[in-house]
Amino acid sequence: MTSMLDRAVADLTNTAPSGSRAGYDRSRDLFTAVNQRVPGPEPVARMITTALAARRPKLRYTVGLDARFLIPLHTASPLRLSDRIKYAVTGLPRTAPKAPTAAVEAAA
């Protein structure tokens, strides 16, 4: 089975616009690096077991060190700021590239 990050890397590779690949390449490299450190489903299964067995479950559970680092970003900063930080890290454009029109596709 292909992992979620493998699919994301493939999607970034296949959908990047021809003129502005830098952000897509940086995101692909970031996802590839993260994917190499992902331990698999076992820690998530253990956390689910812990949550189900808890007498007083927490509102949120985190799995992995990277998730623990992202919690303050999401809780202590406005959504626009956390999005800007993510755009800066990945280099992706803030707006999606426009899809080619039928006339452009017909000319190609």
CA 44 to chain centre: 17
Q: Using DSSP, state whether 80 is helix, strand or coil.
A: helix
pTM exceeds 0.95: no
pLDDT score of 45 = 92
- 5 neighbors 39 (Cβ within 8 angstroms): no
| pLDDT bucket at 1, cuts 50 / 70 / 90 | very low
pLDDT in tens, 19-32: 667 777 887 888 78
Mean of the per-residue pLDDT values of the chain: 76
